[in-house]
Copies of this chain bind each other. A is one copy, B any other.
Amino acid sequence: MSHGFFTIISREDFEELLKGFAPLGKELVDLSLASGRVLAEGIIAAHDWPLLDRSCMDGFALNARDAFGATESNPGYLECTATLPIDKMPSITVQPGECARIATGGVLPDGTDAVIMVEYTGEMDGTTIEIRKSVTPGENVMQRGEDARAGKVALEAGTVMRPQEIGLAAALGFEKISLVKSPRVGILSTGDELIEINQTPKPGQVRDVNSLTVAALVQRAGGIPTRYGLVKDDLASLTDALQTAIDENDLVLLSGGSSIGVRDLTIQALESIPDSETLAHGVALSPGKPTILGRALGKSVLGLPGQVTSALVVMHVLILPLIRHLQGDSKAFDATRRPVRKAELARNLASKPGREDYVRIRLEERDNAPPLAHPVLGKSGLLRTIVQADGLASIPADSEGLYKGDLIDIWTI
């Protein structure tokens, strides 16, 4: 057992090392499976969209000049000469003094440049329409090419495909699109004290909690987890399992071994793989300090802290962003994208300068005031503290703590 003194680097430096791993290659994916993923190649419109000027209201297509000055008390009158089909090109031309009944989505006929909503009109007899409001040219009209122009990039490479971007790709006729691949993430658990979930622990034994917890987080970030199960605490077994996992995945996470001995073994196993190196032996995070970063065959290998709470914090702070980064998300490490709630700190929180602290927080809801943020104390090897927590408060490395009454961001996890 070594003493575990090692050089630790800041969270920022650790992130720079993670950013050194390039995003994955591309694949063609069905548009229905694209949600949350990143465009590898831009989408270029084959035609203008909308194809032609279309109405965005139910009403009457007209020339704005013919409604000039119309008001409730001084209406105008137009002859309605046609009811336009919604799904066809109109064959008529609307003459001055005329209008045509149009439904939402309908194409504007020649001679018209605006639509008046049905609410501002009245039917006088079979064909005369009362116009109770003036309209401006283009009013209630979606113009040809407003969403996309033929031959132009409608969605750039690097775009995260939200439901609305999926909608635009659908409108332009893309059934499949080119996306950055989803990282395959191998998860290994080490530690001779670990047993499978379906086994009954003897004194000293612990079920493998981290594999499933980590896999759930990987999935949430869009990775594809594969659990390799329990690996024995000896160099040959660990090296073997690690080599297989590296071959079969884009990123490998080792978890479970919580003692310094297992940590040292992890580094030895990593370094015994050809073309590998250890990039970081620790990070100035609390909890989460004993996190190992290595590179093997160009892929990232991370040794997670054994304590479940520490592993969870490291997953949220560093590894879920890495998984998003490997998927091509250029803002993966941008902390402003963390979902937060404002809360009022219920007590002082001291912190050791020089490391970034993540404190587990339980929120107490209040009427007409931000929730109260109660730090959840307890050992990081326990699950209770993180189960009771609604989120995390972060204390920057250059701060000595936060004060009772401070309005702070709680990162909901």
Tell me if A217 is interfacial: C-beta within 8 Å of chain B: yes
What per-residue 1/0 map shows which CB atoms of A130-168 lie under 8 Å from chain B? 000000000011100011000000010000001111111
- Bound-state CA distance A219–B383 (Å) is 29
Chain B contacts of A165 at CB under 8 A? 387
Q: How far is the CA of A88 from the CA of B207 in the complex (A)?
A: 14
| A interface, CB within 8 angstroms of B | 1, 3-4, 31-32, 34-36, 51-52, 54, 56, 58, 85-89, 101, 103-107, 118-119, 140-142, 146-147, 155, 162-168, 170-175, 191-193, 197-210, 212-217, 219-220, 227, 258-261, 306-308, 312, 315, 336, 339-342, 365, 378-384, 386-387, 389, 412-413
Q: CB < 8 Å: which of B1, B31, B58 contacts A212?
A: B31
When distances are taken between beta carbons in the complex, the residues of chain B under 8 Å from A260 are 58, 103-104, 118
The answer to whether B216 and A163 touch across the interface, beta carbons within 8 angstroms, is yes
Which B residues are CB-close (under 8 A) to A4?
A: 58, 118-119
- Besides A104-B258, A164-B312, A336-B365, 9 other CB < 8 A contacts? A1-B118, A3-B118, A31-B212, A104-B381, A106-B204, A167-B312, A167-B387, A172-B207, A339-B412
How far, in angstroms, from A214 to B172 measured CA to CA in the complex? 17
Chain B residues positioned under 8 Å from A413 (CB to CB): 162
Q: What are 9 A-B pairs at a CB distance below 8 A? A: A4-B58, A86-B191, A103-B258, A107-B204, A165-B387, A170-B209, A170-B212, A171-B209, A336-B365
Interface of A is mostly: loop
A5 to chain B, nearest CB (A): 8
Q: Decide: B171 and A384 in contact? CB cutoff 8 A.
A: no
For residue A381, which residue of chain B has the nearest CB? B56
Most buried by B among A56, A104, A197: A104
Known: A58-B259, A86-B192, A258-B104. A163 touches B213 (CB 8 A): yes
In the assembled complex, the Cα of A52 lies from the Cα of B202 at a distance in Å of 10
Residues in B with CB closer than 8 Å to A36 are 220
A217 partner, pick from B163, B201, B205, B261, beta carbons under 8 A: B163
The residues of B that contact A216 with a CB separation of less than 8 Å are 32, 34-35, 162-163, 166
- With contact pairs A336-B341, A379-B56 given, residues A104 and B306 touching in the complex (Cβ less than 8 Å): yes
Complex: A73 Cα to B83 Cα, angstroms: 97
Q: Is the beta-carbon distance between B58 and A213 smaller than 8 angstroms?
A: no
Taking CB atoms, residues of chain B closer than 8 Å to A141 are 379
* Contact indicator A51/B203 (Cβ below 8 Å): yes
Residues of B within 8 A of A164 (CB): 213, 308, 312, 383, 386-387, 389
Question: Bound complex: CA of A192 vs CA of B412, how far in Å?
Answer: 45
Q: Report the bound CA distance from A151 to B201 in whole Å.
A: 17
- A212 in contact with B167 given A104-B381, A378-B146 (CB within 8 Å): yes
Which B residues touch A32, using CB under 8 A? 212, 215-216, 227
Q: How far is the CB of A207 from chain B (nearest CB, A)?
A: 5
Q: A210 contacts which chain B residues (CB < 8 A)? A: 167
B213 A200 Cβ-Cβ under 8 A: no
